Structure 1
Amino acid sequence: MKINVKRKLLSLFTGELFAAVSFALLWIMYIQLFDWTEPYLTSFPSLYAFVLLEFILLQGSFYWFLKFRQVQRECYSHLPYRQLRLFVFFKRFNLFLIAIGLLLMIYQYKINAVDFYWFLFLYVFAIIEYINYYHIRLSYQSIDEIKDLIRQRGLRSSKLARELKNL
């Protein structure tokens, strides 16, 4: 069982990190290769939404790394208080950044910017990731996890949300 838990946590950590790094590389590559993408990818609102998404993905990767490190040390409890306090800060800071993004969305909509829908896609993606980490688990990766979801008849709190609740 310990090996399965370690494997799962390593997969979650590296998967989130890989997503964050590959998104950034693709972003840069598209700016370099395709002239038509420049207004979409280099406007301030789009960059803001992208950085917000990357920031939240990196938080998720960091959380799974800390959990993986705990299992390596054969500690299966919640994260230490100091580390959980860091995630409380992240949660609040994310809300602040999401609120700023809402203002940018209103501004984008009012000026009818060419990149509004691209910004909206990235912004909603970031909010979904925030909800997935800090509130409700939205990602189910295996058949067994999907079967559990159906049996439970509903979504459950994310692992991080449960740990923060106990803080």
Structure 2
Amino acid sequence: MQKRVKRKLFHLYTGELMATVIFAVLWVSFLVQHDWTDSYLTSFSSVYAFVLLEFILLQGSLYWFLKWKRAKENHYAHLPYTQLRIFLFFKRFNLFLIAIGIAAFFYQLKAFESGVFWFSFLYVFAIIEHINYYHFRLSYQSPEEMREFIRQRGLRRSILAKELNELK
């Protein structure tokens, strides 16, 4: 059981980290290989939404890394108070950055209307990731997890949300 938990936490942390790296590599490769992507990918709003998404994904990777590190030391309880305070800061800072994203959306509409779809996709993706980490679990990866989701009939609080709730 402990080995399975450690393996799951390791996969969660490396998966989030790899997603962050792969998204950045894809972003740069599209800029280098396709001239038509320059105006979409280099607009202020698109870069803002992309950096926001990457920032939130890195938070998820950090959270799972810290959980995995504690599990390696056979500590399966919540993260320590000081580490949870960092995630409480991230949660609030994310909301501030998401609010700025609304202004970036209107800027995108005015400055480069055809890039609104790309910005919106990245911005909504970032919001979904924030909700997934700090509010409700939205990702279910295995068939077993999907069956559990169907049985529970609704969204379940994320692990980080539960830990932060106990911090307050």
TM-score normalized by the length of structure 2: 0.97
Contact 2:45 2:107 in 1 (8 A): no
Q: Secondary structure at the match of 2:157?
A: coil
In the TM superposition, structure 1's runs of 4+ consecutive aligned residues that sit over 6 Å from their partners are: none
3-state DSSP class of the match of 1:166? helix
**SS in structure 1 opposite 2:155?**
coil
Partner Cα separation in structure 2 for residue 112 and residue 53 of structure 1 = 21
Moved more, 145-154 or 57-66: 145-154
> What is the aligned-residue identity percentage?
63
Partner of 1:119: 119
Per-residue Cα deviation, 1:121-157 (whole angstroms, up to 9, x for no partner)? 0000000000000000000001111111111111100
What's 1:46 paired with? 46
Is the aligned partner of 1:17 residue 2:17? Answer: yes
**SS, match of residue 19 in structure 2:** helix
SS of 2:113's equivalent in the other structure is coil
TM-score normalised to structure 1 length: 0.98
User: Structure 1 regions of 5+ residues with no counterpart?
Assistant: none
- Larger displacement relative to structure 2 (41-50 or 111-120): 111-120
CA distance in 2 between partners of 1:120 and 1:139 (Å): 20
- Which residue pairs with 2:93 in the alignment? 93
1:111 Cα offset (Å)? 4.4
Aligned residues: 167
SS of equivalent to 1:114: helix
Residue equivalent to 1:78: 78
Q: CA RMSD in A?
A: 0.8
User: Which is worse superposed, 65-74 or 98-107?
Assistant: 98-107
Once the 2 structures are TM-superposed, how far is the Cα of residue 112 of structure 1 from its aligned partner?
Answer: 5.2
